[in-house]
Amino acid sequence: MEKVQSKLTSQGQVSVPASVRNFLHLIPGSVLVWTQEGERVVVDSAKRHSTDEVHQALFSDGPPGTGAAKTWANSSKVFASACKSVMLAIDTNVLVRLLARDDARQALAADQAVAKGSWISQLVLAEAIGVLDAMYERSPKQLIAALDLLLVHEHLVLQDADVVSAALAQFRAKPALGFSDCLVLEIARKAGHLPLATFHKSLAKLTGAHKL
């Protein structure tokens, strides 16, 4: 690849040239790693994780049973084809099937749909984590491990990954709260609408929340 240049803005931001994005296979939400090597700084893409790695983190104690799959499958929607040139969004049903992998046909359809990159809204992420918690009985430790990997997934881009990361930090510190509560607080924080009024005693103890 030929030498290319980019300009640093007054806010400390820099655009990544198209040739570099293509060479490193970067997509929106990709994480860059800056490493000092002597007098040089080397820029590379962070390791991105596969769906199988997220699945292993969630189901480290063995594959899910069929009960949850049958119940959840009643409302599942299957994508018949892979996404094309524009990054598509996926719904909660597809994300759950992608991660649980307890329906081979739907898991394959989901894999094909996200193969060229897919966007996950905060609502879909919160719903999927809720399903994995309530219906698949995943522990906070397993959910945290999965969220860590989803933030640097090879095909999936999370809406406002910085907000998700902040919510994950809160959830990691206080797993009894639940991820969705932490996410609600961090969404409000980024929007500049604090304090967050709540009846939840434990949530109210976090900075930015206020108990009614």
User: How confident is the model over 196-205, as a mean pLDDT?
Assistant: 96
Please tell me the predicted confidence (pLDDT) of residue 78.
40
Is there a single domain that holds both residue 73 and residue 110? Answer: yes
Asked if residue 166 belongs to a domain, the reply is no
Q: Are residues 136 and 185 in the same domain?
A: no
Same domain, 117 and 137: yes
91 found inside a domain: yes
Tokens representing residue 176 in the block: 């009894």
Residues 1 and 93 in one domain: no
Question: In percent, how much of the chain has pLDDT > 90?
Answer: 53
**For 29-52, what is each residue's pLDDT tens digit?**
677 888 888 888 888 877 778 898
Range(s) of the domain holding residue 177: 171-212
On whether both 103 and 25 belong to a single domain, the answer is no
Do 15 and 103 belong together in one domain? no
Higher pLDDT, 152 or 2: 152
Per residue in 114-130, pLDDT tens? 998 999 999 999 999 99
Q: Say yes or no: 12 and 81 in one domain.
A: no
Compare 1 and 18 and report the one with higher pLDDT.
Answer: 18
Place 28 in a pLDDT band, splitting at 50, 70 and 90.
low
Do 177 and 139 have their domain in common? no
Of 110 and 12, more confident = 110
User: Within this chain, do residues 67 and 105 fall inside the same structural domain, yes or no?
Assistant: yes
26 lies in the same domain as 120: no
pLDDT tens for residues 73-96? 554 444 334 334 568 999 999 999
**pLDDT, position 192:** 97
Q: Domains in the chain: how many in total?
A: 3
Give domain status of residue 165, yes or no: no
Domain match, 212 and 125 both: no
Are 80 and 111 members of one domain? yes
